[in-house]
């Protein structure tokens, strides 16, 4: 069995789930975790953030329920309102770090969300992936090259298809997957203890 974590790097609730994901990975070091990008802001939804009037209210709710932190640099992006969240670009970045360090995919997905939601860095910019890679002790040149390669776009679209094949339309979703079954462990929000109880029911 493995865990499949379907998230969007530009999804606030996914940011809120980061602590739970980290705790689950820590508790189950022998359980493989596959990270899949969902594609929340694509096509006609790639618009200035000011057009999503619910963002600040949702962030307050996320912080209250999960304890997630939203940094001052990110808050300035929200206040300015012109920033465009592009989930395809973010998914290319997720694919890039996943390619360079596949066994650290969950950790690096969390790091990318921290880069946006705390440090206010754009997940469309190669410089952000260089910063994240350097902080994680990865080959920054390799990560940037993977992000900029044409194959990254194909990987992003493959992730979106994979999410749809699993029937996932809301983020984050954590699944337990084996050769015969796909079982949801968390949808939107859950504690590590809640996920553990659901995992125990599968054994």
Give residue-wise pLDDT tens across range 118-159: 999 999 999 999 999 999 999 999 999 999 999 999 999 999
pLDDT in the model for residue 148:
98
Give the mean model confidence (pLDDT) for residues 8-17.
97
Higher pLDDT, 203 or 127: 127
Pairing of strands 173-177, 2-7: antiparallel
Q: Using the predicted structure, report yes or no on whether residue 54 has a pLDDT greater than 90.
A: no
pLDDT in the model for residue 104:
96
Give the mean model confidence (pLDDT) for residues 1-17.
97
Give the mean model confidence (pLDDT) for residues 48-76.
92
Q: How confident is the model at residue 117 (pLDDT cuts 50, 70, 90)?
A: very high
> What is the spatial distance between Cα 99 and Cα 105, in angstroms, rounded to a whole number?
9
Q: pLDDT tens digit string along 80-89?
A: 999 999 999 9
> What is the spatial distance between Cα 173 and Cα 145, in angstroms, rounded to a whole number?
29
pLDDT in the model for residue 86:
97
Q: How far is CA 44 from the centre of its chain?
A: 21
Tokens 């290319």 sit at which residue? 92
End-to-end CA distance of the chain: 10
């Amino acid at each position: 069995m493995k865990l499949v974590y379907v998230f969007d790097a530009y999804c606030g609730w996914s940011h809120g789930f980061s602590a739970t994901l980290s705790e689950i990975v820590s508790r189950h070091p022998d359980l493989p975790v596959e990270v899949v990008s969902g594609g929340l802001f694509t096509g006609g939804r790639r618009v200035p953030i000011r057009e999503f009037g619910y963002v600040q209210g949702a962030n307050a709710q996320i912080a209250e329920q999960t304890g997630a932190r939203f940094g001052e640099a990110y808050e300035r992006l929200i206040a300015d309102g012109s920033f465009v969240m592009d989930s395809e670009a973010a998914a290319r970045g997720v694919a890039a770090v996943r390619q360079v360090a596949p066994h650290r995919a969950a950790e690096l997905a969390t790091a990318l969300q921290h880069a946006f939601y705390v440090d206010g860095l754009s997940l469309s910019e190669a410089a952000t992936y260089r910063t994240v890679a350097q902080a994680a002790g990865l080959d920054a040149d390799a990560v940037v090259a993977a992000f900029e390669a044409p194959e990254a776009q194909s990987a992003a679209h493959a992730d979106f298809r994979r999410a749809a094949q699993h029937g996932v339309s809301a983020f984050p979703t954590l699944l337990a997957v084996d050769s015969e079954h796909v079982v949801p462990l968390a949808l939107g929000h859950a504690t590590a203890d809640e996920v553990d109880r659901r995992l125990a029911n599968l054994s």
